[in-house]
A and B are shown apart, each in its own frame.
Chain A
Amino acid sequence: MGKIHMDGIISAVKKVRGGVKVEHHKNTAELEVVRMPEPRKVILPMQQHIGAPCTPTVSVGDTVAVGQVIGDSDKFVSAPIHASVSGTVTAIGNVKLPNGNVTQGVTIESDGEMRLWEGIKPPEVETKEDFVKAVRASGLVGLGGAGFPTHVKLNVPPDKNIDTLVINAAECEPYITVDYRECIENSWDVYSGIRTIKEFLNIPNVVIAVEDNKPEAFKVLSQIVEGDSSDNGSIKIMQLESRYPQGAEKMMVQSATGRQVPPGKLPADVGCIVMNVASCAFIARYLKTGKPLVSRSLTVDGMAIKEPKNIRVPVGTSISDIVDFCGGFKDEPVKIVAGGPMMGMSITSLDHPLSKSNNALLCFSKEDAKIFRETDCIRCGRCAAACPMSLIPTKIVRDTKAGDAESLLDDGVMVCMECGSCAFSCPAKKPLVQHMRLAKAVIREAGAKK
């Protein structure tokens, strides 16, 4: 890596506090993303994003093609859902999401042709408004895992002056390597997406952030940035220490600009927009082809899966189909996690469909799904030392038990992003993230009573 010219390379402006050193387990880093053959059927939940759920726009018996809108909402904070296979709508009914919520879902039986919808054409984009509209039409939500509709993020109110676009290639969650693969395999898409967003939103500076355990991604991106002189040095690459949760939005903003996003505010309030690399690459491809978000890449790993893989899968494919494509289980799975091990959700059933924001499927055997016995808190303070938000989890637990909403507000629990650093480092193996959620519920309840 030593050969890179050091011009556009910066290190973190302000180091992030706390965090934890996790075992990376980036076992799939060298595995190229392979396309999974389309499944016999997909189930597309109408809620795959943060915001208003969509309403199905098709009926049972309709014939649909890849990329055709099958669900939409008239609310702004929402993202349309597109058919991910061609075939026939066979059912519209309730589906259970991994988080336990129930939403409407459209089942499509595939005809095996993967026929593209004839309405697909590159969008005509001239202005910022066109761009935001196009991004909404693409159905894009944050591909890094949060699932926030991207067009909402890009639609910055005119009173907020954005000066820095932060590109998140940190991928600090263990196991997951799809963002890394995106940087290596589709580096030009990534770069062109970045340029597009920068130009339409007229953002003067760009910082691309990569953790130092991904030297190859860093090299590829630096070469592209170095090779392009037309940006006048406004695009910089930042190498970050590999430390969880380096890739969290507020951490990214702090590393890139030294600014802290105040509690309850967004990066835009301090002049930043944070975008995931895969989302940038998707935007570039969408503007070229007009093909909406109908498939995504994810890492399949864990001791229980036979063939760990990085795969590209139609949205709505069931988890059992994905497991089958990866050779099935070689060991009895004890826990299956949708997403990364730090913030992902452990699922109850293999029938769940893959959603747009799901970047990993981890099948843990007895060995890696370590289950510990919870013991008493010894007030060692490791949770407080690990908290990137400067909270004191052990105090929050106490105040939650007392049901003391006022103290909890003082404790600042509402800024908790549930990154799991506290619970990770707890030697008593307390389910601290669970406690943080309970604490927020106590505050909400008290607020509702007032």
Chain B
Amino acid sequence: MTLNNKLVVSASPHARSHETVRGIMLDVIIALVPALIASVIFFGPRALIIECVSVGSCVIAEYLSRLIMKRPHTIGDFSAVITGLLLAFNLPVSIELWKVALGAIVAIVVVKQFFGGIGQNFVNPALIGRIVLLASFPTAMSKWTAPLSWLNSVSKLEGITSASPLASIHALAKGGAMPVETLKEMLIGWRAGCLGETCAIALILGGIYLIARKVISPTIPLTYVGTVAVIMLIAGKGNLTFLAYELLGGGLMLGAIFMATDYTTSPITFKGKIIFAVGCGVLTSLIRLFGNLPEGVSYSIIIMNILVPLIEKATMPKPFGTPKKEKKEAEAK
């Protein structure tokens, strides 16, 4: 039969799920939209400009690196868009645009493409982008603008500088005043901070969407936030207001929901996810309580990212049917 040479022959299975990498990345982008809208409301059109520059630089950097390395193009998987959004979400609104582009290039070229592209980076690209900027331009990176000040400010772009509530609550213990923001304002994001981190409600909404779409499991976000909550409850001697400011302030929600859950840089195993998230929580709390920095989410996640291979090795499940005795012996090794 003439048909014989036309049949497709491939290894089983011949049925596949409908999920694709691009579809997953699109879901993450959709989940980031509420926080994106919130950032534009609170920090004005300049927020949108920063986000566009960041996304644009990431996509172009990815395109050019693949071109130079003569590798197949991957901008179609939208992962560079996510990196761009997350980087922008981690920047203050007053930052110069060329610094945004620099952060994006570091994230995509150095952290992602130098190591082989999607799925190969061992740390979160957006976080390294942020940390490089923080180390290079500490003043610009910690200049906070008051929310909605873009509406009445003269230049409409510069805004009025303000202290971040997390810094205030930490200063409280040393005799400072309570943060000016109420807890309600903290929840909706009416506070100074990085573009995408302020609106806890928008971030949680995105997280719920990702969990409902089964893009992420709730293990890491819940364990991470839970660990911070327990430690802060103890550190604050049961002060619930202090606890609430700790949970809603800084980049905890953004980090726990969108950064620590990054597939490539978090463990695959369930036990590993728990260890990873507890580690993130402990480090975040320690940096916040004892460190010189007001915020520790980025550093904590990066440090735990680096430990992922070890965590995975230690939590490797034993194959089906492995006798209990052998399991124990293997674990003892």
Contacts and interface: CB of A to CB of B under 8 A. Distances in A.
A345 B303 CA distance: 46
Contacts of A420: 12-13, 15
A428 B119 CA distance: 11
The 4 nearest A-B residue pairs measured at CB:
A412-B319, A420-B13, A381-B268, A434-B11
Interface string A350-384: 11000000000010100001111001111111101
Interface stretch (A56-64, A217-225, A385-393): A385-393
Interface in A171-205: 174
Given A263-B319, A346-B10, A428 B21 contact: yes
A337 to B, nearest CB: 5
Contacts of B292: none
Given A260-B321, A334-B7, A349-B4, A376 B117 contact: yes
A424 B321 contact: no
Given A415-B320, A427-B24, A350 B1 contact: yes
Contacts of A388: 320
Interface in A250-282: 250, 260-263, 265
A369 B8 contact: yes
Interface residues of A, number: 68
Contact of A379 (B4, B13, B23, B263): B263
A369 B14 contact: yes
Given A333-B3, A344-B12, A351-B1, 13 more contacts: A260-B321, A262-B322, A341-B13, A341-B14, A347-B9, A350-B3, A375-B21, A375-B74, A378-B24, A378-B79, A420-B13, A424-B13, A427-B21
Given A379-B119, A424-B16, A392 B317 contact: yes
Interface string B289-324: 000000000000000000000001000111111110
Nearest to A373: B20
A128 interface: no
Given A265-B321, A372-B20, A376-B119, A335 B12 contact: no
Given A375-B21, A394-B268, A423 B16 contact: yes
**Residue in B4, B6, B7, B322 whose Cβ sees the most chain A Cβ within 10 Å:** B7
B168 interface: no
Given A23-B15, A372-B16, A427-B24, A336 B320 contact: no
A22 B12 CA distance: 14
A156 interface: no
Contacts of A174: 15
A24 B333 CA distance: 44
**Residue in B11, B20, B322 whose Cβ sees the most chain A Cβ within 10 Å:** B11
A389 B16 contact: no
A392 B9 contact: no
A411 B317 CA distance: 9
A346 B7 contact: yes
Interface in B1-40: 1, 3-4, 6-17, 19-21, 23-24
**Residue in B7, B11, B320 whose Cβ sees the most chain A Cβ within 10 Å:** B320
B24 A380 contact: yes
A10 B264 CA distance: 42
A429 B19 CA distance: 9
A266 B32 CA distance: 50
Contacts of B320: 17, 250, 260, 263, 388-390, 412, 415
A333 B7 contact: yes
A418 interface: yes
Interface of B: 1, 3-4, 6-17, 19-21, 23-24, 74, 77, 79, 117-120, 263-264, 268-269, 312, 316-323
A377 B13 CA distance: 18
A182 to B, nearest CB: 23
11 contacts: A333-B3, A335-B10, A343-B13, A345-B12, A379-B263, A392-B316, A410-B316, A411-B319, A420-B12, A431-B11, A434-B11
Nearest to B5: A348
A10 B237 CA distance: 52
Main secondary structure of the interface of B (DSSP, over half): loop
Interface string A17-54: 10010110000000000000000000000000000000
Contacts of A410: 316
Contact of A337 (B14, B21, B79): B14
A191 to B, nearest CB: 31
B185 to A, nearest CB: 36
A345 B19 CA distance: 23
A168 interface: no
A336 B7 CA distance: 7
Contacts of B316: 392, 395, 410
Contacts of A382: 19
A239 interface: no
A263 B322 contact: yes
Contact of B319 (A343, A344, A381, A389): A389
**Residue in A346, A347, A377, A378 whose Cβ sees the most chain B Cβ within 10 Å:** A378
Given A22-B15, A412-B322, A378 B264 contact: yes
A425 interface: yes
A437 interface: yes
A320 interface: yes
B119 A370 contact: no
B12 A427 contact: no
A23 B13 CA distance: 13
Contact of A334 (B8, B15, B17, B120): B8
Contacts of A364: 14
A265 B321 CA distance: 9
Nearest to A431: B11
B263 A381 contact: yes
Contacts of B21: 375-376, 378, 427-428
